[in-house]
Chain A
Amino acid sequence: MNVQISGDGTIGLSGINPFLFDLLQGIVRSGASDDPAVGDRFFPAPVEGGGERDLRDDWKALVQPELHAGFLEAREIVQADLRAADEAADGFAFQIPVRHADAWMNALSQARLALAIENRFTESELAAEMPAAAGGPRDLALLQMNFYAFLQEWLVRISD
């Protein structure tokens, strides 16, 4: 995979093999998880414990729909960038306009959190080295998370 940044900050990715391109498309799929535990993590309460009932109710009614819309918008932006990809002899190529970088970082966070929760990864599994070969769905999910971490780290650096 090759990365180029043009003068206006647009990020060009090219030479992406079909496996990696499928992982990129997985950002949108993973973030759209309907697992209730993922929903709990995406929309946490604004207070710890059981108090502040009014605030919790207001949060659910007013804040969570806004958050939901923001997360969906981020995934849609990522999906649109990926849909615009070209397939060349050396692999897929697409661009991330600089104004889309925040949406990408957000969607990558969504995907990583959803994958961690759905696969019930422990802290030590998350901190461990990437598996040399993906032996099963959990290994693949871990590989996916690490790939997304690499992309996000890189976007953070560019955005700074």
Chain B
Amino acid sequence: MANVETPETETRDEVATDAPWNVVVHNDPVNLMSYVAMVFRRVFGFPPERAEKHMLEVHNNGRSIVWTGQREKAELYVQQLHSHLLLATIEKAPPAC
């Protein structure tokens, strides 16, 4: 979604888009746990155990990183999660050691 105006910016953006991004789901006290787990299964195709694990992580820790990868795809996942009324954001993944 970032605009590329100049060659210089283009180079920087390429580096930025290559870096991995996290999709983070945040806790809210209203959405039902079963509903959140169902959304994870549908959006990410997680098996039930993995969906449950992330749902519990959101519930207990306030957030869970549910996916990491290319920025554009991360934005699409956040859009899908928002369409199910889950609180989700993207964040730059910390560089690998």
Q: A156 to B38: give the CA distance in the assembly, Å.
A: 7
Contacts of A106 in B (CB 8 A): 83-85
Contacts of B97 in A (CB 8 A): none
Residues 34-52 of B, flagged 1 when their CB comes within 8 A of A and 0 if not, give 1100100000000000000
Q: Is the CB of B31 within 8 A of A109?
A: yes
What's the least CB distance linking A77 to chain B, in Å?
A: 15
B32 within 8 A of partner (CB): yes
B70 within 8 A of partner (CB): no
Q: Which size bracket describes the interface of A in this complex?
A: 20 to 34
Q: Which size bracket describes the interface of B in this complex?
A: 20 to 34
Q: Is the CB of B87 within 8 A of A70?
A: no
Q: Which of A55, A116, A160 contacts B1 (CB 8 A)?
A: A55
Q: Is the CB of A46 within 8 A of B78?
A: yes
Q: Which of A48, A62, A116, A159 contacts B29 (CB 8 A)?
A: A116
Q: Is the CB of A153 within 8 A of B32?
A: yes
A67 within 8 A of partner (CB): yes
Q: Which of B3, B35, B87 contacts A156 (CB 8 A)?
A: B35
What's the least CB distance linking A111 to chain B, in Å?
A: 10
Contacts of B3 in A (CB 8 A): 54
Q: Which of A55, A66, A112 contacts B30 (CB 8 A)?
A: A112
Q: A145 to B30: give the CA distance in the assembly, Å.
A: 9
Contacts of A149 in B (CB 8 A): 32
Additional A-B contact list (20), CB under 8 Å, known A54-B1, A109-B30, A153-B32: A42-B85, A43-B82, A44-B88, A44-B89, A46-B79, A47-B90, A47-B91, A66-B79, A67-B83, A109-B35, A109-B85, A112-B30, A116-B29, A126-B30, A145-B30, A149-B32, A152-B32, A156-B32, A156-B35, A160-B38
Measured CB to CB, the residues of A under 8 A from B are 42-48, 54-55, 58-59, 62-63, 66-67, 70, 105-106, 109-110, 112-113, 116, 123, 126-127, 145, 149, 152-153, 156-157, 159-160
Q: Which 5 A-B pairs have the closest CB atoms?
A: A123-B29, A109-B85, A58-B1, A156-B34, A116-B30
